[in-house]
Amino acid sequence: MMRQVRRGPAVPPGQRSYGNPGPAAPPYAAGVPQQPSYDDGQGYDEGAGHGDYDSGYNTGQVYGGGRRGGFVPNDNDPDPELGQYRPRPNWRRRIKWITITLVTVLVVTSVATYFWADSKLRREVDLSQVIDRPASGSGTNYLIVGSDSREGMSKADEQKLHTGSAQGKRTDSMMILHVGDNGDTLVSLPRDSNVTVPSYKGSTSGKVYPARGRQEKLNATYAEDGPTLLVRTIEANTGLHIDHYVEIGFQGFANIVDAVGGVDINIDKGFKDKWSGADFKAGEQTLNGQQALAFVRTRHAFAASDLQRTKNQQKFLSALAHQVATPSTILNPFTFYPVMGAGLDSLIVDKDMSLWDLASMFWAMKGVQGGGGTSLNMPISGSTGGNLVWDKAKVKTLVDELNNDQKVTVSGN
């Protein structure tokens, strides 16, 4: 409510209101009219206790908001105190700086990820120790080896994964992946393949051992002197130059599968195997690390034994590569980094392997499964003493086509 104000005597015309008589202000003077006084004891002097009607009035706060008359401007209205328009937000400039910031973060993250991943690669195989090598052909040839290494496994792990506790390392699977311009080709080399052991340089002794025409199973050469003798033997028996070497053990293989969240695969016919722990029904299913290891190791459940196992290995590795390369894995950091970490910690590669080479290998394996390439076993003509004998004529044609990066016409068993 407005406080009552004591009124004094009427003011004669021409005199000032609320005060002593004085000259009347000119109606349209050039200057500013003199303001009335409020402290003469007859008006609105707050200090005199006569009322506080004027409280807040001269500051523009009577009708709210801290601005005269409660006026609240928007971006396009003039500011009544500043007497000018507020500038509109410069969205083009904001978007530019947001884009620059995001690109900078992406570049820094990518570079950091590259160096992190590159530092984790275990470059332990020196292919320069391999002697008498054939000339390089067109395209790139990767030798992919699955070993029965139990590195990093506890007794409980060995029992869970049905690996046994054998000492040393042997090869459970060997494949050559050819990456070229005319389709990628995945060739499995059965571990029981009969080969001639060539002359070679010892990986630890440095001594050159002459050839004696000795016949062995292919996986025995790996057990004898490791990756370099295996590469030397394959090159000598095929004439195909191996550019890169990749090896993974039991535990690492299972860890990668678990890190990617399992691998989807279609099993044509169910099978069981007490040796590997396999127990599968036919149909689409997702295999975890333990199941995947049993799937790729099983051979006793098949009449074709190792030949059927190599086909299962090809099928699963292609499916694994496809799963790793999906957007849900690559674009999700909570999946991508665990998968990368598990894979890079598990792989043993040659000293010249780069991350680009490794990525090219995985993309090629994915392409083979997607119908963009060919997969086959090394052509077999028969067996001798339990060893599988390669079909020399077909092998020569296959190697010539790979060396010349031509479309493969040879079929395997």
Same domain as 322, residue 214: no
User: Considering Cα of 332, then 334, then 337, then 341, what sign does the dihedral take?
Assistant: negative
CB–CB of 180/405 below 8 Å? yes
Length of the chain: 413
In a domain, 188, yes or no: yes
Other C-beta atoms closer than 10 Å to the C-beta of 209 total: 15
Closest to 186 measured CA to CA, from 363, 396, 388: 363
Q: Helices 306-324 & 355-369, crossing angle to 10 degrees?
A: 110
Q: How far apart are CA 138 and CA 185, in angstroms?
A: 13
For residue 152, what pLDDT band results from cuts at 50, 70 and 90?
A: low
Q: Which residues contact 106 (CB under 8 A, 6 or more apart)?
A: none
Paired with 348 in beta bridges are 122, 247
Same domain as 258, residue 244: no
Main-chain dihedrals φ then ψ at residue 286, nearest 5 degrees: -110, 120
User: Considering Cα of 202, then 208, then 213, then 214, what sign does the dihedral take?
Assistant: negative
In a domain, 386, yes or no: yes
Same domain as 345, residue 260: yes
User: What's the angle, vertex CA 305, arms to CA 241 and CA 177, rounded to 5?
Assistant: 25
Name the most confidently modeled range: 18-22, 99-103, 124-128: 124-128
In a domain, 70, yes or no: no
Residues of the domain holding 177: 124-146+163-248+375-404
Main-chain dihedrals φ then ψ at residue 158, nearest 5 degrees: -60, -40
- Which one is predicted more confidently, 310 or 325? 310
In a domain, 32, yes or no: no
How many structural domains does the chain have? 2
Same domain as 257, residue 187: no
Q: Give, in order, the Cα–Cα distances in Å from 203 to each of 145, 150, 216, 232.
A: 18, 21, 19, 11
Same domain as 243, residue 255: no
In a domain, 309, yes or no: yes
The 10s digit of each residue's pLDDT in 238-263 is 999 999 999 988 888 888 999 999 99
CB–CB of 176/229 below 8 Å? no
In a domain, 14, yes or no: no
| Host H or E run for residue 317 | helix 306-324
The 10s digit of each residue's pLDDT in 358-404 is 989 988 888 886 677 888 999 999 988 889 999 999 999 999 999 99
Look at residue 52 and give its three-state secondary structure: coil
Main-chain dihedrals φ then ψ at residue 36, nearest 5 degrees: -65, 150
pTM for the complete prediction?
Answer: 0.71
Same domain as 212, residue 132: yes
User: Considering Cα of 323, then 327, then 328, then 333, what sign does the dihedral take?
Assistant: positive
Same domain as 338, residue 229: no
| Residue whose entry in the numeric block shows the structure tokens 């010249």 | 352
CB–CB of 337/244 below 8 Å? no
Same domain as 274, residue 363: yes
Does pLDDT of 121 surpass 90?
no
Same domain as 218, residue 310: no
User: What's the angle, vertex CA 387, arms to CA 159 and CA 227, rounded to 5?
Assistant: 60
- Which one is predicted more confidently, 144 or 68? 144
In a domain, 3, yes or no: no
The 10s digit of each residue's pLDDT in 191-233 is 899 999 999 999 889 999 999 999 999 999 999 999 999 999 9
Quote the pLDDT of residue 66.
47
In a domain, 30, yes or no: no
Q: How far apart are CA 125 and CA 11, in angstroms?
A: 112
Same domain as 218, residue 283: no
Domain CATH code at residue 175: 3.30.420.590
Same domain as 209, residue 170: yes
- 31 exposed, middle or buried (CB, 10 Å; 0-12, 13-18, 19+)? exposed
Token representation of residue 366: 């994915």
Same domain as 232, residue 263: no
In the structure, how many helices (H) and strands (E) does the chain have? Answer: 10, 19
Domain CATH code at residue 301: 3.40.630.190
- Which one is predicted more confidently, 157 or 306? 306
Q: How far apart are CA 159 and CA 65, in angstroms?
A: 77
